[in-house]
Amino acid sequence: MDIEKTKEYFRQMLRRKDFMALKEEMSKLAVQDVAEILNQMDEKESLLAFRLLPKDKAAEVFSYLSDKIRTAFSQMIEEDELKSLVEDLFFDDKIDFLEEMPANVVKKILQRTPESERRLINQFLQYPEHSAGSIMTIEFVDLKTDMTVEQALCHIRYTAPKKETIYTCYVIDQQRHLLGAISLKDLVLADPSSKIEDLMDKNIITVRTDDDQEYVASLFKKYDLLSMPVVDRENRLVGIITIDDVVDVLEEENTEDIQKMGGISPSEESYLSQSPITMAKNRLLWLIALMVSATFTGRIIQKYEDLLQTMVILAAFIPMLMDTGGNAGSQSSTMVIRGLALGEIRTRDAFKVVAKEFMVSIIAGISLAGLNFIRLIAIEKVSTSIALVVSITLIAVVVMAKVVGGLLPLLAKIVKIDPAIMASPLITTIVDAMALVAYFNIAKLFLKI
């Protein structure tokens, strides 16, 4: 489906006030597609189209709308209509919505919420950001050990409409301690008279409410889970995390890592929704830090100013050596950062990483130096001594860059800093300084200056 064409088609129907046709067209689309179209429309047009949706579909679409559109809706529609919308959201979507809304909107919604649910919402809102507790839902199916399969299936049929997922059911005791889990498939295939206690799986993967969401995502990947129970310190079941929430976590974490690797302070807002001032503020701190750190390379060049005046041609190869070093270091840091994120590399593997990057750098450095030597002699027509200096420096720079690029993310992990910070901008700055020092010292040694 072409979203842009469909959006324009929707707008034409709104202008013609052909509301019945628009309602029919929206009913044919998946809720995610409707939300994507509404996100790209003018706020007033979007709200008008949204109000044509049936109540059950409206709540689903609302959960997929952008924070910007949802905030606009919450300020334009009546309190009763907003309350009705929020009530129909699954609990975890409701929490996500309230976390992003202005305080006055949250206050209005909580004032009209039953006290029991209000206590639960407040509890969820107090969980640490990016923790398992902050992304879990309380809408799951729980069973008792003394239930028969037949009783369990009846219980599921009765409660399923209000639950986010029913594919895995969790077995608890009277104090809500988690005892085991059983899949809907196993229940359907089992003897109706069998006891849940005899069928449940007691070896289940759990997380605590204060566990980091990135750790939760790694467990989902490792064990191929669709949902995971969240327990408190006394092993009481307080909620579950579903795979759709983990996909959101992975997207959020990957976006954050990419921003940090690019030297940008992380932001949860989309690119187009951020103001130029906000974007500049997120980038300026890093640019200042990198600019200041880059002055070290200037100091190094000043230190060897006499050498450059004696052999001016050396200056022509500085950009190539620095760029090659930065690129080589970025390759290594990117691979190690990704390996750390996927759990393929541990901090104890530091020596293995250094050894591997050293071997790679030797192969890459000699290959680049060989090609460069031939180019300088055959094309640039420089002297053999200059070509030799530049080529040997190239090997040294690639070796240093790849070892440093592989090692810095591991050091960051050890001191509990996000390894993504040790990416291209920072690696390039460090390697530039090292490349210049190596270049000038090798030149002095070989050229006898």
Output the DSSP codes for 146-193. Answer: T-BHHHHHHHHHHHGGG-S--SEEEEE-TT-BEEEEEEHHHHHHS-TT
* Residue recorded with tokens 């359907």: 188
- Chain CA centroid to CA 20, Å: 40
pLDDT tens-digit series, residues 198-229: 999 999 999 999 999 989 998 998 899 999 99
What's the chain's average pLDDT?
85
pLDDT tens sequence across 139-166: 899 999 999 999 999 999 999 887 888 9
Q: Is the pLDDT of residue 420 over 80?
A: no
**Separation CA 182–CA 184 (nearest Å):** 7
Tell me the C-alpha distance between 364 and 239, whole Å.
51
Check the CA dihedral 118-120-126-130 and report its sign: negative
Confidence of residue 167 (pLDDT cuts 50, 70, 90): very high
pLDDT digits (tens, 9 = 90+) for 344-378: 898 899 999 999 999 999 999 999 999 999 999 99
Angle at 323 between CA 317 and CA 324, to 5 degrees: 90
With beta carbons less than 8 A apart as the criterion, state whether 12 and 45 touch: no
Q: By mean pLDDT, which of 78-87, 230-239, 270-279, 297-306 is the weakest?
A: 78-87
Confidence band of 449 (pLDDT split at 50, 70, 90): low
- This prediction's pTM: 0.63
* Structure confidence at residue 154 (pLDDT): 95
Q: Which domains does the chain have, with CATH numbers?
A: 3-126 (1.25.60.10), 142-242 (3.10.580.10), 276-447 (1.10.357.20)
